[in-house]
Chains A and B, each alone.
Chain A
């Protein structure tokens, strides 16, 4: 049998197995990576020797990894051809993108954990800042405030957001839908501080000037939260194949039940992710809460009366208005930041478990 050359130029090379023609060996990427890092390390060594400064390990690794990308592309182009090379290049880039994003994450993580650990003690989670100056004190009041206000914001935003996205995907046609879509987009652009001002002014109308309450803070947060919920849920609902809706309709299922029992469960994972993102988005807001919910050192369980402290405001004020000794304030700030992150992580984890429970039962 004659091996004929096909129009694909890479295939015709006469090697034992024509299907392996012109492939880099499996180990090639690693070899190239190691080589790239070695080259970079050597260059850094020369530079550091020349300038007398300390050896920069991070820089050497980073530049080495950077070097790998063109290197693998070059080798692959030479040996495997353009298409394979492109594939390898994209693989390297995509992996690189992920690793790149890990840099700030790891850096942030290390910073927050090491600096936050100093005050991660029992007092911190059993005390408020009432009558505390200098060292000591805790963040019970801020945790309570954050949970209550974020919770209230979620209670307001998730139904509205979800129903709006359902409206947009399932019901909306014509002008109103287009208007809503557009306005939701515009809503994403409300600066958080303006949301705070608006909520503050709104409640000033009803409750008298100058009232700062948890609920005003929650309303400000909802303003920021709703567009994120709508946008992400809308995207997820649109991905539900029409076939499934048709299947349900054909069984004589009313539209609303189809949405509740078929469309929502199918997209639940994505929606949960979106909702979690929206919560994460607002739970860390400082500016609007400073304006709408005020500042207090005491615990307040009542959303509708009195000022409420929140973790981000606490972090911010501890950092911005340091007293004596400053370190005590900084320690509290970082420990509160760590707490906030842990709270969001925990919420995220719970949401994922919930989502997994309802998620479509197919692969991936």
Chain B
């Protein structure tokens, strides 16, 4: 097993990259080498990100957008500078970037704001509102974060939820897309890359159909923004959401990008300080985006940390990150194919596919697979991966998932494959 040669050698100097990540230097389970294959859940952080956050607190911490004093100016500059960096990272303008605490809040923001549109004073605001009989379309492979907020919006507005199915290979079934995304469809929300299957969805095709019926398109980029170059203009969607913690950034920050004119029409979601224009006891008027959507003291240090993460990724090169993970994924799929009784849930080849690889091992429950791997220092995720309906689609309860990032190398994949062999021996499975 260990003597297989990587199917391609990649341009990344992983040893050097790994050295930037303090946590990856530690050992696990009594001194074993740590093989971290759970970046799909959350990524580790390079020192430069931790340093940037700390520098903010030690040098420039003050209330952003509220202080007229020097510290306040410095804090505001740091925060707004971070917005510019993060905007650049996805080809956006900074005024279209809204900071939230995670991607989940970003998606809820859109759903609640559309729900609030029916109470809007303005005609443009009202035009975004949903009526009974309107439709919201998602897919069967969505993370709960991009499913339940829409279920709840349907419940509040009387709109109906419909969804695109998934085929046996783990691709979206687009054969009925024209029926499912019908004339009454107001929102199409789908994931760019599945966190379970690894599938990369055909954005352009879905956008074309959504445009034809004038539906808004929400793209959940949680699993793509960290792993491939993104350009919001090219994507052609209306909203993009992702989380900082999955892309080398801190916990506690998410990003919503929205089209200028749509953000401008949307009513607020969270309300409070810093998102207002004028306030009276009985009513208030609201600031322009992005401030309108950032109520309260912002996630300032986290924005600074995420900007440092974007700088790190940009310095490495997102195309190289993608190529590297692509190579790891191909190599992993080959390795897994060599294990009898192992079935990959999701595409079996690396075409239009990212580095989240889910699988079942015959006669060993995912929890038990995960346990044996963990005992050997190989950290994977087991369970439904917050995509329970997708599990039902495949008639299963749980999978084991390995997911890769720029700091993984071929030896990590070897460790995975070896440990799976060990798990099989342990449970006496052939």
Q: Do A and B associate with each other?
A: no
By a beta-carbon cutoff of 8 Å, the part of chain A in contact with chain B is none
Residues of B within 8 A of A (CB): none
